[in-house]
Amino acid sequence: MEKLKQRWGIDSNWQIVVIFIVFAITGSSAAKLAEPLTNFIGLDQESTNGFIYWTARILLIFPIYQILLVAFGWLFGQFQFFWGFEKKMLKRLGFGFLFRD
């Protein structure tokens, strides 16, 4: 636990609990929100090829997750942690041009 606190630059075990809760809520919410969006754009699991359906759904989950992660982080009082986490993740994925550091 101490290594994780040191790596993430946090002080207390309570922050770790809150961060894990935010990750859990964000992942579940992003997956849940992707379903109506795939239906809205006309992709239905029963009538669409599985590869196309799941590829589109995963591509939809990614931006939803990014937005919700920062939003839920803010709601739980951990905005700074999740904003830094978000920037680091997007830079690793090649979207570093979006941030001025």
Predicted confidence band of residue 101 (pLDDT cuts 50, 70, 90): low
Q: What's the number of domains the chain is made of?
A: 1
CA atoms within 13 A on the CB side of 87: 10
Report the pLDDT value the prediction gives residue 43, as an integer from 0 to 100.
86
Across the range 4-28, mean pLDDT stands at: 91
Overall size of the chain counted in residues: 101
How far is 45 from 68, CA to CA, in rounded Å?
Answer: 24
Q: What is the pTM of this model?
A: 0.83
* Amino acid (1-letter code) at residue 43: L
Domain span at 64: 2-6+13-98
Q: Which residue has the higher pLDDT, 24 or 2?
A: 24
